């Protein structure tokens, strides 16, 4: 039985790149909660206006005590 030679492929098949994923959008419920907090949430709490690590840590400790 003679071996059959296959033709050599000289072209490459290029598949298109997959489309990039769509940017994540907040779910409607999460959007409503965030909007409610912006309108009605507490905005004058002491730890919200500082980047001082001690004050932030202290607020976390106090929160855990309640």
60 is catalytic: yes
Check 60, 61, 62, 64 and give the catalytic one.
60
Q: Is 3 exposed, middle or buried (0-12, 13-18, 19+ CB in 10 A)?
A: exposed
Active site residues: 60
């Amino acid at each position: 039985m003679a071996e059959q030679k296959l033709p050599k492929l000289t072209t490459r098949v290029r598949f298109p790149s997959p489309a990039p994923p769509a940017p994540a959008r907040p779910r409607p419920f999460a959007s409503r909660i965030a909007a409610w907090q912006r309108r009605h949430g507490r905005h004058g709490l002491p730890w919200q206006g500082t980047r001082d690590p001690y004050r932030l840590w202290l607020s976390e400790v106090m929160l855990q005590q309640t």
